[in-house]
Amino acid sequence: MTETINAPTFADLPLSESVIKAVQDIGYETPSPIQAQSIPYLSEGRDLLGLAQTGTGKTAAFALPLLSRIDLKQRDPQVLVLTPTRELAIQVAEAFQRYARHMKGFHVLPVYGGQDMRGQLRNLQRGAHVIVGTPGRVMDHLRRASLKLDNLKTVVLDEADEMLRMGFVDDIEWIMEQTPEDRQVALFSATMPYQIRKIADTHLKEPATVEIHAKTATVETIAQKVCMVSGFHKLDALTRILEVEPFDAMIIFVRTKTATVELAEKLEAREFAAAALNGDMSQALREKVVDRLKKKSLDILIATDVAARGLDVERMSHVVNYDIPYDTEAYVHRIGRTGRAGRQGTAILFATHRERRMLRAIESATRQRIDTMRLPSMSDVRDIRIRQFKEDVLKAVSMGEGLDVFREIVTELEQEHALSHEDMAAAMCFMAQRERPFPDAKEPEQPRREGRERAERRDDSAQRDDRARERSNEGMVRYRVELGRDHGINPGDLVGAIANEGKISGQSIGHIRLFDSCSSVYLPEGIQSSVLDVLKVAKIRNRPMEMKLWVDDSFPAERRARKDFARRDGSCRRKGGRRPRHGNDSSR
């Protein structure tokens, strides 16, 4: 039986009506601890020092109160959020936009390196209420005077310790000096090293302190797996897992109440015994749904975190995190619905490339490495359905009930139309499975975009499969970029720069490999020379890419080991004369 829900809501916090309405539309039910504690302080205009791990809901903790104080008539930037990476800048900007859905005329602008500067300049001229950016690109705009902070109300330093690790402390100091003296400052960090404490002491005035201690846990009786998928293909991935993975009962967690109903309807349409469980349902109705699960008339629950509180069903063998939680503690609570009383359980987490930071935080909280699972192929699904179909036929034959009349029909068909038993049996099998046909085993197992995200976490054996890599690069041309690991870049930097500056679809960018002083990337054949001219001068971390064709003899065979590769004709050199380990061989 589920317990009664008596949790505070966002309506209890000092937020504007439009922001509260957006939160309700999204389906968020209760604020996380850092949100509940930070929002009142930020709403009052106080400086704030927030100590919390990734995945505790920090973005909403500062976005919601700051949006509630935005003056939509004032077009100059009122909030500046500094983030360590472009990926986080995009995520934070998207969160602001999502929470401001009922604020007509609101504009948020992400600015980061590798993005078209001309587009950023045009957007800054149009005006934006919130700027979210990486320190380097924000400094560029301040020096150009394209970004003016005269009317700035608040500065947010998000993941300050990560910016320290990446060497942005001097940049942060310089940016803070360009902001008005009376601005509000909110600093969020997972740890508090000396330099971050120094920034806080220098730039925060009598700050309120909110400290959230993330609880760690090990769940020994639960096998944890992660399935790397794109959001667009989640339902297909879930359906394949449900077809292939043997389970008794399952709870699928989503973030919002609306999503519970939508996903339940989609699974029911695919003939799965599924039902929603959310906070909008009456206590009696929720208890009825749980009772159906216990009595095995229902196999799958789709629930939110709050609705699943106190849920303890003995036959719950699987937990699926369809939407990755914002909070690591929520993840631990979610998977705790299975593996109880010494029973074995399985927890499957869906994650995208952009959610890898949260995935690492979860691994840290559970003190366990979460293994990557192979998404079942259409061939696997086909084999399972055929095996089940055979079992159903054998069961019907062994029972023998009601078969006499069909034997008579078979005999009549044989006599009237000279049909063989084999043809009649095949026709009847086809008719029996017409509503749920066996899938085509030749269907591609993964969409290309999904494959790119999965490749970020594939195992070493897949990395060594050079033949598969060669097939994936068919119809592609290898190019050389004069930036590598020594310059602090990663494959995501290359993808972002090529996609934004060269106007090349990210899905068209092939295999990327990083070396110490350079990198290689495969692009489709027929790239125009004008595009290459742009990519030659495009910058990553303030360094030009200098992209050009990869000359076959400019670098020795990659499989030569333990030899000092001499630098000649501009070739790359690997430190120590050793080939990169497979674990460091970056690919997209």
Q: Tell me if 362 sits within 8 A of 215, measured CB to CB.
A: no
Higher pLDDT, residue 384 or 209:
209
User: Which of 159, 178, 211 is at the close of a domain?
Assistant: 211
Q: Does the residue 44 lie in any domain?
A: yes
User: Which of 336, 355, 376 is at the close of a domain?
Assistant: 376
Residue 282 has pLDDT above 50, yes or no: yes
Q: Tell me if 197 sits within 8 A of 169, measured CB to CB.
A: no
Q: What secondary structure does DSSP assign to 451-482, as a single string?
A: HHHHHTT--HHHHT-HHHHHHHTTTEEEEEES
Residue 576 has pLDDT above 70, yes or no: no
User: Confidence class of residue 115 from pLDDT cuts 50, 70 and 90?
Assistant: confident
According to the model, what pLDDT value does residue 475 have?
Answer: 66
CATH number of the domain residue 500 falls in:
3.30.70.330
* Long-range Cβ contacts of 290-298 (<8 Å, 24+ apart): 290/1, 290/2, 293/249, 296/249, 297/273, 298/249, 298/273, 298/274
Q: Does the residue 21 lie in any domain?
A: no
Both 360 and 402 in a single domain?
Answer: no
Strand runs (DSSP E) across 377-436, as ranges?
Answer: none
Both 315 and 391 in a single domain?
Answer: no
Q: Tell the burial category of 245 from Cβ atoms under 10 Å away from its Cβ (0-12, 13-18, 19+).
A: middle
| Weakest-pLDDT range from 317-321, 385-389, 487-491, 509-513 | 385-389
Cβ neighbours of residue 314 under 8 Å, at least 6 residues apart? Answer: 294, 340, 341, 343
Higher pLDDT, residue 426 or 105:
105
Taking alpha carbons only, the member of 516, 513, 520, 510 closest to residue 586 is 513
CATH number of the domain residue 72 falls in:
3.40.50.300
| Weakest-pLDDT range from 69-73, 142-146, 439-443 | 439-443
| Single-letter amino acid code for the residue at 350 | F
Both 359 and 414 in a single domain?
Answer: no
Both 333 and 394 in a single domain?
Answer: no
Q: What secondary structure does DSSP assign to 485-547, as a single string?
A: GGGT--HHHHHHHHHHHH---GGG---EEE-SS-EEEEEETT--HHHHHHHHH-EETTEE---
Q: Does the residue 555 lie in any domain?
A: yes
The Cα–Cα gap between 122 and 495 comes to: 23
User: Confidence class of residue 575 from pLDDT cuts 50, 70 and 90?
Assistant: very low
Residue 566 has pLDDT above 70, yes or no: no
Both 126 and 47 in a single domain?
Answer: yes
Residue 553 has pLDDT above 50, yes or no: no
Both 46 and 181 in a single domain?
Answer: yes
Q: Does the residue 196 lie in any domain?
A: yes
The Cα–Cα gap between 345 and 394 comes to: 31
Both 416 and 514 in a single domain?
Answer: no
Both 65 and 141 in a single domain?
Answer: yes
The Cα–Cα gap between 81 and 154 comes to: 8
User: Confidence class of residue 436 from pLDDT cuts 50, 70 and 90?
Assistant: low
Q: Does the residue 312 lie in any domain?
A: yes
Mean pLDDT of 537-545: 85
Tally of domains in the chain: 4
Both 66 and 90 in a single domain?
Answer: yes
Mean pLDDT of 579-585: 37
Residue 452 has pLDDT above 60, yes or no: no
DSSP helix/strand/coil, 49: strand
The Cα–Cα gap between 467 and 91 comes to: 36
DSSP helix/strand/coil, 548: strand
Q: Tell me: the pLDDT tens digits for 143-196?
A: 999 999 999 999 999 989 889 888 899 999 999 999 999 999 999 998 888 888
The Cα–Cα gap between 350 and 230 comes to: 9
Q: Tell me: the pLDDT tens digits for 235-258?
A: 888 988 888 888 999 999 998 888
Q: Which of 55-64, 127-136, 475-484 has the highest mean pLDDT?
A: 127-136
Both 421 and 517 in a single domain?
Answer: no
Q: Tell me: the pLDDT tens digits for 371-392?
A: 898 887 777 777 777 777 777 7
Q: Does the residue 441 lie in any domain?
A: no
The Cα–Cα gap between 403 and 143 comes to: 85
The residue range of the domain holding 74 is 31-211
The DSSP 8-state label assigned to residue 400 in this structure reads: -
The Cα–Cα gap between 551 and 548 comes to: 9
Q: What secondary structure does DSSP assign to 270-294, as a single string?
A: TT--EEEE-TTS-HHHHHHHHHHHH
Q: Does the residue 337 lie in any domain?
A: yes
Q: Tell me if 299 sits within 8 A of 274, measured CB to CB.
A: yes
Whole-Å CA distances, 454 to 133, 231, 419, 500: 27, 13, 50, 22
Taking alpha carbons only, the member of 328, 291, 286, 326 closest to residue 309 is 286
Both 44 and 128 in a single domain?
Answer: yes
Both 178 and 202 in a single domain?
Answer: yes
Please state the pTM of the whole predicted model: 0.50
Q: Does the residue 18 lie in any domain?
A: no
Q: Tell me if 498 sits within 8 A of 509, measured CB to CB.
A: yes
State the average pLDDT for the chain: 80
Question: Alpha-carbon dihedral of residues 535, 540, 546, 550, nearest 10 degrees?
Answer: -90
